[in-house]
Amino acid sequence: MSNQQVQLNIRFKAKPGKKEEFRKELSSLIEEMSSEKAFISAIVSDDLDQPDDLIIYETWQGTRDSWLAEEFIKPYRKNYEGTLGDLIVDRSVSWLQPKGEWGSHITNA
């Protein structure tokens, strides 16, 4: 396994009245993925200015390509993806690579 890390910053806009139901689905996904060998951490946040938005910030060992090849194909993700159409309006993903860190020791940066 490489010493590289990749981070995903994913913003979800929940359908009106569906935020808490979506939060439960997302929490179930995190419980599943947190047992993966390459998983490092995940933080879920509410956007204080956009009340229907949830943001997850994930850190994984590896690269974008290794994450897509090894993690995205997991069966539990297919189940999760199948629920999203009923719960969210939009999702945007940013792929990041840590280059510096202060205050914790999550990344190699």
pLDDT in tens, 67-84: 999 999 999 999 899 999
104 within some domain: no
Count of C-beta atoms within a 10 Å radius of residue 58: 21
Distance CA 55, CA 9 (A): 7
Q: pTM for the whole thing?
A: 0.90
Our count of domains for the chain comes to 1
Residue 101: DSSP 8-state: -
Q: Average the pLDDT over each of 23-27, 38-42, 95-99, 105-109 and give the range with the smallest value.
A: 105-109
Residue range(s) defining the domain that contains residue 29: 5-96
Tokens of 56: 């997850």
Q: Residue 91 belongs to a domain with what CATH number?
A: 3.30.70.100
108 within some domain: no
Does residue 19 register a pLDDT over 90? yes
Model confidence band, residue 32 (pLDDT cutoffs 50, 70, 90): very high
Average pLDDT of the residues of the chain = 94
- pLDDT tens digits along 94-108: 999 999 888 888 876
Predicted pLDDT at 107: 75
